[in-house]
């Protein structure tokens, strides 16, 4: 579950089958008799028609005959329809009633935006803006994770080159691990200008390692440098020379990556 804040109101968002459902209950919690608005909206004939069209588009198990009966009855003075009744009668999936700590009425984002518009057009616009901001942040995180995984894959290429060229058979596991750590720090020094230990000493509160806090551009550069360093190791280039070459490569690549990013921001 995640939350966004819309005009001072915290609104919960949950995932169901990889779809976003937004809390209608949270939307109206700061309005007098706000919960009554949900059922009032649900009894509206236009709302019923909209919900039915959405369900027929996305829900193969939607009970269309039952829906027709509800639609025909909508608008009559005696017409009453709760969220629970709507779900049970039509097998709807667009709206869900959730119990427990984060309970309440949730609706698929398409329906939640429609409800927000019914409550307040201004509220709907702010809701869409904050929801989109959340999605943008999630995409950035996905991009970072993908680059981190790519970096890990290339690191195997790097460590294999170390194993084949720099680790004598007679070394103990401890001695071997020291060589791997030293070679990792060649990359750290070339890109970040600091060793893993120096970073840990400077950031005792943070969990993980220096690469867990790298930017996407740094991870792209690091991934490239791992492949390049593996080639240089295979060619027998000394560690000192490799560090110099990798540092120049890091400076050049980071400069290009930052320039490309700045162009995107300007556009």
> Does residue 146 sit in the same domain as residue 239?
yes
Please check whether residue 43 lies inside any domain of the structure: yes
> Does residue 188 sit in the same domain as residue 234?
yes
Please check whether residue 125 lies inside any domain of the structure: no
Q: What is the pLDDT of residues 82-91, one digit of tens each?
A: 889 999 999 9
Q: What is the pLDDT of residues 32-83, one digit of tens each?
A: 887 889 989 998 999 999 999 999 999 999 999 999 999 998 888 788 888 8
Residue 152 has pLDDT above 70, yes or no: no
Q: What is the pLDDT of residues 213-247, one digit of tens each?
A: 888 788 888 888 888 988 999 899 999 999 999 99
Look at 262 and 128; give whichever has higher pLDDT.
128
Please check whether residue 239 lies inside any domain of the structure: yes
Residue 146 has pLDDT above 70, yes or no: no
> Does residue 173 sit in the same domain as residue 63?
no
The arithmetic mean of pLDDT across residues 90-116, rounded, is 89
Looking at the structure of the chain, the number of domains it has is 2
Mean pLDDT rounded to a whole number for the chain:
85
Please check whether residue 124 lies inside any domain of the structure: no
The arithmetic mean of pLDDT across residues 2-21, rounded, is 88
End-of-domain residue from the set 89, 119, 149: 119
Please check whether residue 126 lies inside any domain of the structure: no
Residue 168 has pLDDT above 80, yes or no: no
Please check whether residue 170 lies inside any domain of the structure: yes
Contacts of 50-57 with C-beta under 8 Å, sequence gap 24+, read 50/111, 50/114, 51/86, 51/92, 51/94, 51/95, 51/111, 52/90, 54/94, 54/108, 54/110, 54/111, 55/90, 55/92, 55/93, 55/94
Please check whether residue 134 lies inside any domain of the structure: no
**Residues above pLDDT 90, as percent of the chain:** 37
> Does residue 177 sit in the same domain as residue 62?
no
Look at 149 and 54; give whichever has higher pLDDT.
54
> Does residue 14 sit in the same domain as residue 57?
yes
Residue 2 confidence (pLDDT): 85
Q: Which domain holds residue 79?
A: 2-119
Question: Is residue 150 very low, low, confident or very high in pLDDT (cuts 50, 70, 90)?
Answer: low
Residue 266 has pLDDT above 60, yes or no: no
Residue 61 confidence (pLDDT): 94
> Does residue 147 sit in the same domain as residue 112?
no
Look at 171 and 41; give whichever has higher pLDDT.
41
């Amino acid at each position: 579950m995640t939350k966004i804040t819309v005009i001072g109101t915290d609104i919960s968002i949950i995932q169901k089958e990889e779809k976003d459902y937004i809390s209608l209950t949270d939307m109206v919690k700061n309005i007098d008799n706000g919960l009554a608005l949900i059922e009032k909206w649900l009894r509206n004939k236009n709302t019923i028609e909209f919900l039915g069209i959405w369900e027929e588009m996305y829900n193969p198990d939607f009970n269309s005959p039952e829906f027709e009966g509800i639609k025909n009855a909508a608008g009559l003075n005696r017409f009453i329809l709760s969220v629970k009744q709507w779900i049970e009668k039509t097998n709807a999936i667009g709206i869900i009633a959730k119990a427990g700590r984060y309970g309440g009425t949730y609706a698929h984002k398409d329906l939640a935006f429609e409800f927000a518009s019914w409550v307040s057009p201004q509220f709907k616009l702010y809701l869409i803006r904050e929801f989109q901001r959340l999605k943008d942040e999630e995409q950035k995180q996905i991009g970072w994770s993908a680059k981190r995984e790519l970096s890990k894959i290339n690191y195997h290429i790097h460590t294999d080159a170390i194993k084949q060229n720099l680790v004598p058979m007679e070394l103990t596991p401890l001695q071997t691990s020291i060589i791997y750590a030293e070679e990792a720090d060649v990359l750290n020094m070339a890109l970040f200008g600091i060793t893993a230990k120096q970073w840990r000493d400077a950031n005792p509160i943070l969990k993980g390692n220096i690469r867990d806090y790298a930017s996407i551009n740094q991870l792209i550069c690091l991934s490239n440098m791992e492949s390049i360093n593996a080639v240089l190791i295979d060619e027998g280039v000394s560690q000192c020379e490799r560090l110099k070459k990798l540092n120049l490569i890091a400076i050049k690549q980071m400069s290009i990556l930052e320039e490309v990013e700045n162009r995107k921001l300007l556009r």
